[in-house]
A = this chain, B = another copy of it.
Amino acid sequence: MNPPEVLTPERIDERVSAAVDALRSRPQISNVFLTACGGSFALMMPLQHVLQSSTVLEAHALNAREFTTRAPKSLGPNSLVVLCSHSGDTPETVEAARFAREQGALTIALTHELESPLALASEFVIGYQHGDAKRYAYTSAPILYRIIHALVDRATSSSTLAPATDAVAALDGIVEGLLAAHYDRADAWAKAHARSGLIYTLGSGPNYGSAYSFAICLLQEMLWVHSQGINSAEYFHGPFEITDFDVPFIDLLGLGVSRPIDERTHAFLVTKSDDVLTLDAAEWDLALVPEALRPSFAHLVFTPLLRLYAERLADHRGHPLSVRRYMWRMEY
């Protein structure tokens, strides 16, 4: 067996280019299924927003098991299926890749493990960086962001891939600056929530995925804190009645068309709860990101910024983010 491939930026870029070339060689693609599970599924949600709002492609974000069980009749040789699994051995996602290929769809998979079942099952495979030595620009979400802009360009004869790639290249500087600027605030918030049993997260549009993954992966899975990722556009249609002075919320304020959704929710929320952590993309220095891309770019920043808050919470709770009681510890 060969040693595992080193996931250098150059090697990742080569594989992105191969996938982009494949997209360009299939002008018949008319629909896109963005499919994965859990935190990887959350990565798909902003991509659906980008594709729906800027192309006539029919874009669907679906949990991988929902995808294979409902077996969409519109899946076929004119479909692109984008998949992601960190370990590459999530059975539902591997099955989704196999099913998609059987139906003749073009498959592009992201995974950290290039020898994994998902990598073997998919036509195009792109590795990504992870862990302490990573560059944010080469983690999964920004790579997916680039791929999707290649598709936008193909569908609309525009040129968004180059500026999107430049914007992604600026991600490390943006995130590192914000992590430093937010450290004290994150630590104080985490100390205040060291005993909180429940924390809601709110976001909308291209940032809903960040709110969802923070709720189900960081809070529920890693910290055993009850949560729900509430779409801010749904907040006034039910969830808002649980708002009270002592109910904790994390509220993401995005940019662009969905910002008014976030602002309306935020304006109400802060009058009824005394425990709102607001993360506002309008406060960030995004000078290196073209203005037209900023609304869809923001989620690339929210997710690592939120992780800082989770890390501080883990420290104050004495519950490392790596602790599990079920995952990886038993059959299920």
Contact = CB atoms under 8 A, between A and B. Distances in A.
Given A70-B49, A204-B66, A228-B228, A220 B233 contact: no
Contacts of A204: 65-66
Contact of A327 (B234, B241, B324): B241
Contacts of A17: none
Interface stretch (A31-39, A136-144, A158-166): A31-39
A260 B70 CA distance: 12
Interface string A213-251: 101110011101111100101101111111100000000
A240 B66 contact: no
A116 interface: no
Contact of A238 (B52, B58, B198, B220): B220
Given A72-B52, A257-B70, A261-B69, A37 B242 contact: no
B52 A73 contact: yes
Interface string A294-332: 000000000000000000000000000000111100001
A54 interface: yes
Contacts of A73: 52-56
Interface in A32-68: 37-39, 41, 49, 52-58, 60, 63-66
Interface in A232-278: 233-234, 236-243, 257-258, 260-261, 264, 268, 272
A188 interface: no
A71 interface: yes
Given A37-B233, A69-B205, 11 more contacts: A39-B238, A53-B72, A58-B58, A66-B204, A66-B233, A217-B238, A226-B242, A241-B327, A243-B326, A268-B332, A272-B326
28 contacts: A37-B237, A38-B237, A39-B238, A52-B70, A53-B71, A53-B72, A56-B73, A58-B58, A58-B74, A65-B204, A69-B205, A69-B257, A69-B261, A70-B257, A71-B257, A90-B237, A198-B226, A216-B239, A217-B238, A220-B239, A220-B242, A221-B242, A225-B242, A226-B228, A227-B228, A228-B228, A240-B326, A272-B326
